[in-house]
Amino acid sequence: MKRMARRTTKGQIMLIMFLFVVPLLAMLLLYNVYMLRVLNEKITQNNENTIYLYETLLEQDISSAQYYLSNSLANDRSFLRWNYQLNALEVYMCGQDILGKYEDYLNTHKNTIGILFAYSTKYDMLRISYNGDETYKYGQKTSIKKYLYKIITENKVNSGWTVYDIDGNKYVVLILKNGTTYAGAVINFDLAIKPQDKQGNKGMDFLMYASIDGEPLIYQDYIKDNGIEIKQTKKRYYITGSSHDFMIVQRPLSSAGINQLYITHYQGLLNYMDVSQIILLAMSGLITLALPFVYLVLRKTYFIPLNRLITTMESIKEGNMEAKMSENYQIDEFLQVSKTFNEMIEQIKWMRIAAYEKEMETKNTQMQYLQIQIRPHFFLNCLKNFYALAEQKKYQEIQDMILVLSDYLRRMFRNNSVLISVSDEMENVRNYILLQQMTLSNPPSCNIDIDTSLMDFRIPPLSILTFVENSVKHGRQLDRDLIISVRISLIKDETESYVCITILDNGTGFSDEVLEKINGTKGELDRENIGISNVKKRIELIYGDKGTILFSRSNGSCIEIYLPYKDKANEVNG
């Protein structure tokens, strides 16, 4: 079966938000972009229509002036006479006649033509007529006259309408030639009819003209002050200005070799939107701005409480049963989960305590059973000794032995606890050795060396006596006395401390077969070694893997018992 992919609750919530909110935002964003484009296209179309309207008027003026000049060069008597031999007075009169006709034309055609001029190379005569006395300043008139005379005499005349730079000012000029005579016109865009003439304020929307390479022909100072860049582009519109607050729609005027530009003061998208469009735009903005706030709310109300729950459960998993979940939540479900979980942990703690107490009760029962298994073996030996003494009629020794045995039995029956002190265990050992010395012909001796600080250390009952009794039973030899040594010391390292109990004798020692059995098993020995088996089982029950018994042979038997100095069973020690 295919395993399902696992996700966190946080990831799932974020995924749901992503699947629903992101498409909504994308849709609103696309709609706003589309709406912006449509509005800009609408503005562009309106401005192009305005350009086209005034383009028609401008082209009429240009075409009219061009036709008039062409016709004059070809048909006017004064222009034609300039090509023939005339006296000075006739040359002068022809020039005056041309000026009079120019003035009549300019008076009847109040259009964009600012200057009409005529020049005869044969007689070096230049005549200029201005469209109004205040159209050009004196300095401009002088500069224009000198420049026109220069380009004509130096034969630098371009065909068609051409933009010339005269003392830093741009002029659109047309120069026509017929024989030795020239006729021309200069456009004055200030005289052209423009929509801003009605508004009286070119600071809003206005029509202007520029050369093909982007040099403004009028309003140069305004263009420069507002950082308006006139681009050579095929786009229908573009945004420019130092504050990106101008929209430019431009259209070429081929007949004059210039560009027409309608510049709109771009007041922003909202200025061109209706109420419904503004509401949709505001909704998309609010949704976008609300996303971080929504995340913070989710984080506070869901993500942080979930992380706290997970952290608490991980702490409990690591064994910290005192950890509890916070019950300070605003969400009822989290509060209910926390209360239920805390109650469940309390129940688990009580169940663990009950189970531990049950386990300890079971262990105590097992150890009492094991201790009872050891005692009959010793009692039978005592009875055999009594029988032998009675057979030899050693009544005084029997009486002394009964007193010692009585004291021994009194201690044994009194100590039914799981652990007894080292001093009580050693007193039992001394009584046992004394009993043996009273009954055996070659009695054993016992040397005791104990760290006085360990006299109150608690150990399992019979854990030393069992091995002393085992030495007496199996270690005696006919040719020498049995000597038993008991040493108890404290061993410390960097991390833990252990109590080392060593029982040595100079007897026959363990055989290889017995050593293999008692060192290689956890207490499952035959009945002959039931005492050793019981001691091992009891140490295992009490100390677990922290308690160790080692058996070896070194000029006799050697038993080493290592018990932890501090553990739950011996919290009173140290």
Give the model's pLDDT for residue 526.
Answer: 60
Q: Which residues pair with 122 in a beta bridge?
A: none
Angle between helices 332-391 and 465-475 (to 10 degrees): 40
Is 55 or 280 the better-scoring residue by pLDDT? 55
Integer Cα distance of 280 and 28 in angstroms: 8
DSSP states of 6-45: P--HHHHHHHHHHHHHHHHHHHHHHHHHHHHHHHHHHHHH
Q: Name the CATH topology of 353-570.
A: Heat Shock Protein 90 (3.30.565)
CB 463 within 8 A of CB 561: yes
CB 534 within 8 A of CB 374: yes
Least confident segment among 47-61, 155-169, 410-424, 503-517: 410-424
Domain ranges, ordered by start, for the chain: 9-273, 353-570
Identify how many contiguous H helices and E strands the chain contains and give both numbers. 14, 16
User: Minimal CA–CA distance to 559: which of 484, 460, 478?
Assistant: 484
DSSP states of 60-93: HHHHHHHHHHHHHHHH-HHHHHTTS---HHHHHH
The residue-averaged pLDDT of 53-68 equals 88
Mention every residue, 6+ apart, whose C-beta is less than 8 A from residue 83.
122, 178, 179, 180, 181
Residue 383 has pLDDT above 70, yes or no: yes
Integer Cα distance of 161 and 502 in angstroms: 125
- 560 pLDDT band (50/70/90 cuts)? very high
The residue-averaged pLDDT of 139-143 equals 89
Please give the single-letter amino acid code of residue 555: N
Residue 92 has pLDDT above 90, yes or no: yes
* Mean residue pLDDT across the chain: 80
The residue-averaged pLDDT of 519-529 equals 60
User: Minimal CA–CA distance to 506: which of 469, 465, 557, 444?
Assistant: 557
Least confident segment among 346-355, 422-431, 538-547: 346-355
The residue-averaged pLDDT of 219-230 equals 87
Residue 410 has pLDDT above 80, yes or no: no
pLDDT tens, residue by residue, 305-358: 777 777 777 777 776 767 777 767 667 776 777 778 777 877 776 776 566 556
Please state whether the predicted TM-score (pTM) of the whole model is above 0.85. Answer: no
Give the model's pLDDT for residue 192.
Answer: 80
CB 411 within 8 A of CB 428: yes
CB 459 within 8 A of CB 497: no
Residue 96 half-sphere exposure toward CB, CA atoms < 13 A: 6
CB 432 within 8 A of CB 396: no
Least confident segment among 148-152, 344-348, 377-381: 377-381
Long-range contacts, stretch 156-159, CB < 8 angstroms, 24+ apart: 157/182
Distance (Å) of CA 86 to CA 82, 121, 177: 8, 13, 20
- 488 pLDDT band (50/70/90 cuts)? very high
Element (H, E) at 398: helix 395-414
Integer Cα distance of 122 and 469 in angstroms: 157
Rounded to 5°, the CA angle 65-103-142 comes to: 90
Is 144 or 318 the better-scoring residue by pLDDT? 144
Residue 269 has pLDDT above 70, yes or no: no
Tokens linked to 452: 């006085």
Tokens linked to 335: 């509060």
| Burial tier of 458 (Cβ tally within 10 Å: 0-12, 13-18, 19+) | buried
Is 214 or 572 the better-scoring residue by pLDDT? 214
Phi, psi of 248, rounded to the nearest 5 degrees: -115, 125
Distance (Å) of CA 343 to CA 129, 346, 485: 109, 5, 56
Least confident segment among 181-195, 207-221, 405-419, 500-514: 405-419
